[in-house]
A and B are shown apart, each in its own frame.
Chain A
């Protein structure tokens, strides 16, 4: 089957750097995605890695190692508004282009 593991909670202070790890087991790997969800809101796309390496988008970066079935989301210069849940996801090989999500990491940023 397919599964993803990520920490359930992470806490940090404003201005800090946080890394959220994700390990996955999947058949037919197409890439690793990250989504952000604020309380009461909808998941919104952050990044996608299909190839090994680091992708940077502003304060957020995402890394993938296909050989290790591992990726991470790096959040720099944390702000209070970054407090949210972060989900890693892979394409569900049994469901076309649908996504299989990890259980989410709740990030709490304090001042």
Chain B
């Protein structure tokens, strides 16, 4: 069984569109994350979320918003997509400060 899954794996869309990426973990972890990896492979935290607290990296535009319907899911909504949003987005989860488990990534291309 996949520990952390993301859908879709690939997402190609036009500038200005709104899109969502879904993430689910079946590890029973209490904390989930969204990371962005750019074309130079630089991995950067966007959001950190557990059932008590959402921590947002201050550099993330407010067009990006995480939504967590329950402890096992953390979806990423992106409004008014821009060319610079093209990247690979990774969801991850962990139990407190322990090892983080990453999903397979969503490759977003904005045209």
Which B residues between 78 and 111 are near A, CB-CB below 8 angstroms?
Answer: 90, 94, 96-97, 99-105
Q: Does B43 contact A (CB under 8 A)?
A: yes
Residue from B45, B90, B99 within 8 A of A95 (CB atoms):
B45
- Taking residues whose C-beta sits less than 8 angstroms from the other chain, chain A's interface range is 20 to 34
Chain A CB count within 10 A is highest, among B40, B41, B43, for B43
- Taking residues whose C-beta sits less than 8 angstroms from the other chain, chain B's interface range is 20 to 34
Contact mask for chain A residues 54-82; partner B; CB cutoff 8 A; 1 contact, 0 none = 00000000000000000000000000000
CA distance A97 to B101 in the complex (A): 13
Q: Does A15 contact B (CB under 8 A)?
A: no
Q: Does B48 contact A (CB under 8 A)?
A: yes
Contact A95 B100 (CB under 8 A): no
CB distance from B5 to the nearest CB of A (A): 11
Contact A43 B102 (CB under 8 A): yes
Contact B101 A45 (CB under 8 A): yes
User: Which chain A residues lie closer than 8 Å to B101 at the CB level?
Assistant: 45
What are 28 A-B interface contacts by the 8 Å CB criterion?
A33-B99, A41-B104, A42-B102, A42-B103, A42-B105, A43-B43, A43-B90, A45-B99, A45-B101, A92-B48, A95-B45, A96-B31, A96-B48, A96-B55, A97-B31, A98-B33, A98-B45, A98-B48, A98-B55, A98-B57, A99-B45, A101-B42, A101-B43, A101-B44, A103-B40, A103-B41, A104-B43, A106-B41
